[in-house]
Amino acid sequence: MDRRSFLKNSALGGTAAAATTLAAPAYAQGNRTLTMVTSVPDGFAVFDDAAVNFAENVNAMSGGELTIEKKAAGQLVGAFEVFDAVSSGQADMYHSADYYFGGQHPGLYFFTAVPFGATGGEMASWYYHGGGKELHHEVGEIFGLKSFICGNTGHQPGGWFNKEINTAADLQGLKFRMPGLGGLALGRTGASVQNVPGGEIYQALASGAIDGAEWIGPFADERLGFQEICEFYYTGGMHEPGSALTCGVNLDVFNELSPAHQAIIETAAAATHQWSLSQSNYNNGAALERLKAQGVKVLEFSDEIWDAFGTAAAEALDEFMDDELFARIRASQEAAVAATYAWTSVSDGVYTAQRGRVRAG
Judged by beta carbon, residue 214 or residue 222, the one nearer Ca ion is: 214
In the complex, least distance from residue 259 CB atom to Ca ion, rounded to whole angstroms? 35
Judged by beta carbon, residue 130 or residue 180, the one nearer Ca ion is: 180
As a whole number of angstroms, the distance between CA 250 and CA 146 comes to 6
Residue span 205-224 as binding mask against Ca ion, x where in contact by CB under 5 A, dash where not: ---------x----------
Q: Binders of Ca ion among 153-172, rule CB under 5 A?
A: 156
In the complex, least distance from residue 207 CB atom to Ca ion, rounded to whole angstroms? 20
Cα–Cα distances in angstroms (integers) from residue 170 to residues 115, 201, 219, in the given order: 20, 22, 27
Q: Which of 151, 157, 154, 155 is nearest to 276 (CA)?
A: 151
Residues 250, 59, 125, 133, Cα dihedral to 10°? 20
Residue span 54-83 as binding mask against Ca ion, x where in contact by CB under 5 A, dash where not: ------------------------------
As a whole number of angstroms, the distance between CA 178 and CA 194 comes to 6
Choose the binding region for Ca ion from 19-27, 102-110, 238-246, 330-338 (rule: CB under 5 A). Answer: 238-246
Judged by beta carbon, residue 159 or residue 248, the one nearer Ca ion is: 159
Other C-beta atoms closer than 10 Å to the C-beta of 1 total: 9
Position 274, amino acid:
Q
In the complex, least distance from residue 213 CB atom to Ca ion, rounded to whole angstroms? 9
As a whole number of angstroms, the distance between CA 39 and CA 51 comes to 10
Site size for Ca ion (CB under 5 A) = 3
Q: Which of 286, 297, 293 is nearest to 217 (CA)?
A: 286
Residues 231, 212, 160, 45, Cα dihedral to 10°? -120
In the complex, least distance from residue 310 CB atom to Ca ion, rounded to whole angstroms? 19
CB distance 232 to 223 below 8 Å = no
Judged by beta carbon, residue 48 or residue 240, the one nearer Ca ion is: 240
CB distance 284 to 217 below 8 Å = yes
In the complex, least distance from residue 119 CB atom to Ca ion, rounded to whole angstroms? 14
Judged by beta carbon, residue 130 or residue 151, the one nearer Ca ion is: 151
Q: Binders of Ca ion among 288-317, rule CB under 5 A?
A: none
At residue 177, the 3 state secondary structure works out as strand
In the complex, least distance from residue 76 CB atom to Ca ion, rounded to whole angstroms? 24
Choose the binding region for Ca ion from 7-15, 39-47, 134-142, 239-247 (rule: CB under 5 A). Answer: 239-247
In the complex, least distance from residue 214 CB atom to Ca ion, rounded to whole angstroms? 5
Judged by beta carbon, residue 85 or residue 113, the one nearer Ca ion is: 113
Return all residues near 271 (Cβ < 8 A) that are at least 6 apart: 53, 57
Judged by beta carbon, residue 39 or residue 57, the one nearer Ca ion is: 39
Judged by beta carbon, residue 130 or residue 183, the one nearer Ca ion is: 183
CB distance 38 to 72 below 8 Å = yes
- Per CB under 5 A, residues contacting Ca ion are 156, 214, 240
